[in-house]
Amino acid sequence: MHDMTENSDSGRSKQSLLDEIASLRTQLANAKAATRSGDYDSLFAQFPLGMQEENYSGVKVFIDNLQAEGAVNLRQYFEENPKVLHDLITSTRITNVNQALLDIAKYESVQDFMDDEADFEGWWEARWVAYYAAEFASLAAGVIYQDEISDARYDDSTFQRYTMVTIVNGYEKTWEKVITIFLDVTERNKYEQALIEAKLDAEQANKAKSDFLSSISHELRTPLNAILGFAELIEYDDNIDHLSSVREIGRAGEHLLRLIDEILDLARIESGEVKITIEPVSVIKVIEECLAWVVDMAQDNGVSIHFESVVFDQLFVLADNIKLKQAILNLLTNAIKYSRANGQVGIIYEKADGELVRIGIRDTGPGISEDQIRELFQPFRRLGAELSGVEGTGLGLVITRRLMQRMHGRLEVDSVHGKGSTFWIELPLAQLESEGSTESIKSRINREPSSAVSAVRRQVLVAEDNQVNRELILAQMKHLGYETDVANSGPEALRLWRSGRYKLLITDIRMPEMDGCKLIRQIRSAENGIGRSRPIIVISANVVGDAVNRCFEAGANDVLSKPVKIADLRTSIEKWLK
């Protein structure tokens, strides 16, 4: 029964066997205690687990002599003297086997079992050295030896066994009775392995999903970058004949981009890839930042916004700051879009049951019927709004509700058909004092952008492998008044950058030979010790998951998402060349 191979996952298996080992130890203690009461033979025969008894007296004599000569590390000694260990094994003999072990090993008689075990040369291999060296050392130290191994049955089939080896009480000085208990763990290990494989499959599937989202984002944003970028450039042209058509191209492209972003957002939420950080969040600060984004939209639509800041002063909720901002911004955008001309949008607040608060976005739109409310939070259901001329994707509310659920909150709606709707965000209240007074809405909305850099033309290097995107960024930079050189790959960009002629690098991420992150890392590595570094801006179509964080970790100063608007490009360049 010694056709044995070491189990590479023995550490894992031992850990998962804790309960079984505890039971095994109890039964082993009972077996040893039985020797004192004279019940040993009966217990040995009836023991539910496999058990064999061996005579190790020759081993004991040899070890006593070794220790008398000063040997300390018995395990190391036996591993370094495998022939000595082999000869000791041949001096041992099995004296008894119970029926449970015969059943496990599929032997019909005790004699057959003992005959096979006595044929040492038939099963001895070099790999037994480590096993018996560890066993003898453990017994000499008075410690129960335990291991999980693969063994062979009489019919040559294999099984996994967990073994515990100890000396029977009263025989510690002679080792004439050493018992080994066998536990068949074959099925348990198969189940464990199936779980491990299922976990690996799930992780691989999750990675494939992430890779798909990253790839689809890049593939969709790249052509959109060219469409929207060139359309925006042409808008600066005074040719009236094509200006109207170009604006339509721009609007269609922007709508497609929003659709792509929201589909990817929903996919990330559904797959659990959106990271949520729950912390106390100032409601008034979030609302004011959102209002700064929508004030122009409200003016264009003839909609007034009513918001009493004093009501929200000192109000903090437990939420993710960015995700709460996304949710409120989406609700405000919807309220403005669907309100009637000269309509009103209100932001209100009320306490809910327990430690909960409700923030409401109220509009004077057409309202929603009870039947429509049941379909309101289904993807791509616009409930007839697709015929109204109001642009939308039918995903915003779905995403908002999912985000609220991830933040342990809720999104609900009250509506009267023909009069308007109120969308309620419900979140746990955070007991926290506000630090100082917040800025007024007006000051936040009317805040001027940072001052521009001087009109001095500066040298900029662009790394971009896509021809259309190269032409676009060169045209955008020319419009902004910057001198620009272009590199078609990472190695070329690195070579040009080392010339020292450039004040700023703008780079893509996905490039052959050397991607943008590797390019940035090599530049930052070369700058170590110089005491100065030049700014690097990433413009990438891959903004899914941790892609943005990887850019910053590599050493980028800023990351812009394709399609990039001229105004955003100008702001970033002026910020870092200031």
Tens of pLDDT, residue by residue over 145-155, are 988 878 888 88
pLDDT higher for 369 or 288? 288
Helix axes 240-270, 396-406, angle to 10 degrees: 30
For every residue of 137-187, DSSP letters joined together read HHHHTT--EEEEEEEE-TTS-EEEEEEEEEEPTT-TTT---EEEEEEE-HH
Q: Is residue 175 scored above 90 in pLDDT?
A: yes
Q: Is residue 300 scored above 50 in pLDDT?
A: yes
Q: For 83, which DSSP code?
A: H
Cα separation, 506 vs 524, in Å, equals: 14
Q: Is residue 92 scored above 80 in pLDDT?
A: yes
Segment 559-571 mean pLDDT: 86
Segment 231-237 mean pLDDT: 69
**In contact, 182 and 166? CB cutoff 8 Å:** no
Q: 3-class DSSP state for residue 27?
A: helix
Q: Is residue 185 scored above 50 in pLDDT?
A: yes
pLDDT mean across residues, the chain: 78
| Cα dihedral 289→291→293→298 (10° resolution) | 180
Q: If DSSP states are collapsed to H, E and C, what string results for 273-327?
A: CCCCCCEEEEHHHHHHHHHHHHHHHHHHCCCEEEECHHHHCCCEEEECHHHHHHH
Q: Give the CA count within 13 Å in the CB-facing half-sphere of 220.
A: 20
Q: Is residue 5 scored above 60 in pLDDT?
A: no
pLDDT at 453: 40
Cα separation, 355 vs 427, in Å, equals: 9
Q: Is residue 328 scored above 70 in pLDDT?
A: yes
Of the pLDDT bands very low, low, confident and very high (cuts 50, 70, 90), residue 65 is very high
Lowest mean per-residue pLDDT among 318-322, 370-374, 497-501 = 370-374
Segment 353-375 mean pLDDT: 82
Q: Is residue 32 scored above 60 in pLDDT?
A: no
Q: Is residue 307 scored above 60 in pLDDT?
A: yes
Phi (first) and psi of residue 32, to 5 degrees: -70, -40
Q: Is residue 226 scored above 90 in pLDDT?
A: no
Of the pLDDT bands very low, low, confident and very high (cuts 50, 70, 90), residue 10 is very low
Q: How many residues does the chain have?
A: 578
* Residue corresponding to tokens 């096993």: 131
Model confidence pLDDT, tens digit, residues 238-288 = 665 566 556 666 666 665 666 566 666 666 666 666 778 888 999 999 998
Cα separation, 140 vs 74, in Å, equals: 8
Of the pLDDT bands very low, low, confident and very high (cuts 50, 70, 90), residue 389 is very low
Residue of 52, 31, 149, 163 lying closest to 110 (CA atoms):
52
pLDDT at 265: 64
pLDDT higher for 466 or 174? 174
Residue of 264, 3, 352 lying closest to 149 (CA atoms):
3
Q: Is residue 555 scored above 50 in pLDDT?
A: yes
Cα separation values, 217 from 210, 268, 519, 559, Å: 11, 12, 22, 15
| Burial bucket for residue 114 (CB in 10 Å: 0-12, 13-18, 19+) | middle
Of the pLDDT bands very low, low, confident and very high (cuts 50, 70, 90), residue 59 is very high
| Burial bucket for residue 547 (CB in 10 Å: 0-12, 13-18, 19+) | buried
Domains of the chain: 5-184 (3.30.450.20), 276-445 (3.30.565.10), 459-576 (3.40.50.2300)
Segment 183-199 mean pLDDT: 80
Cα separation, 208 vs 194, in Å, equals: 21
Model confidence pLDDT, tens digit, residues 435-448 = 443 443 333 333 33
N- to C-terminal Cα distance for the chain? 79
Of the pLDDT bands very low, low, confident and very high (cuts 50, 70, 90), residue 66 is very high
Helix axes 128-140, 57-68, angle to 10 degrees: 70
Segment 25-53 mean pLDDT: 69
This prediction has a pTM of: 0.40
Segment 114-143 mean pLDDT: 86
Lowest mean per-residue pLDDT among 223-232, 404-413, 494-503, 527-536 = 223-232
**In contact, 462 and 507? CB cutoff 8 Å:** yes
Segment 368-391 mean pLDDT: 60
Q: If DSSP states are collapsed to H, E and C, what string results for 324-343?
A: HHHHHHHHHHHHHHHCCCCC
pLDDT at 267: 65
pLDDT higher for 24 or 182? 182
Work out the percent of the chain whose per-residue pLDDT is above 70: 72
Residue of 448, 423, 302 lying closest to 359 (CA atoms):
423
Q: Is residue 566 scored above 50 in pLDDT?
A: yes
Q: Which pair of structure tokens corresponds to residue 210?
A: 């992430």
Segment 523-549 mean pLDDT: 79
Residues linked to residue 306 through DSSP beta bridges, in sequence order: 346
pLDDT at 381: 57
Q: Is residue 47 scored above 90 in pLDDT?
A: no
**In contact, 30 and 46? CB cutoff 8 Å:** no
Q: 3-class DSSP state for residue 264?
A: helix
